[in-house]
Amino acid sequence: MSIIYGLLKEHGVRVTESELRHLAAATERYATGTGSAHIQGRLGMGFQPYSSHLRSVLEQGPTSGPGGDALCFDGRLDNYKELSEELSLYDPDALSDSRIVLAAFAQWSEASFSRFVGDWALALWSEKDQSLYLARDHACGPRRINPFISPEIMLAPERSIFATSKAKRYGRPTWTPSTQERPSSTSRTTTQPAI
């Protein structure tokens, strides 16, 4: 299982490369390949690959989509061929699951998550909605996506840190996963401008 992680800051504050490197340090030794990162203003996402199935070699890390959407995906879509057909995507065997997820989100928005069959976790930034979606498969498999909280984040709730590994920490060893998850297995972090 690959590891995905990221940081979303308040409006007007940019994520830095050193902050993402700091998040990556705790688990980079588990990666089977070179990790990658994506910074888009106040959003930063990282990916540490661990190839566990044939299609996982197609994943290259954080992926950008139409309209400025960004995605970090870990896992596999068992119904990738059916989704590709519904979305009129050609050569599904050559497409990464990330590309299929971005196309599905562009077509069906957050309703797309319920169409994915497989073992997966994702973090998807919707530029249009200015929302960060944290979602995972309905079967509650081994892949988790953990939002983390700390006193700093509780004081600034528009700042979010997420990771598929509980070993990820941002500056403090006392981070704990949030216990607030929606029953649909999809969390949505919506940020509002500070007043």
pLDDT in tens, 28-63: 878 777 888 999 999 999 988 887 777 777 878 898
All domains in the chain, ordered by first residue = 3-190 (3.60.20.10)
Residues 46, 47, 51: CA angle, nearest 5 degrees:
175
Residue tagged 């994915």 (tokens)? 116
Six token digits for residue 39: 């910074």
Residues 192, 126, 184: CA angle, nearest 5 degrees:
90
- How would you class 111 by CB atoms within 10 Å of its CB: exposed for 0-12, middle for 13-18, buried for 19 or more? exposed
Three-class SS of 131-193 = EEEEEECCCCCCCCCEEEECHHHHHCCCCEEEECCCCCCCCCCCCEECCCCCCCCEEEEECCC
Six token digits for residue 104: 């599905």
Residue 34's contacts (CB-CB under 8 Å, 6 or more residues apart) are: 49
The pTM of the full predicted model, rounded to 2 decimals, is 0.76
Low-confidence ranges of the chain (pLDDT < 70): 139-159, 165-195
> How high is the pLDDT of residue 148?
58
**Residues 148, 126 contacting (CB under 8 angstroms):** no
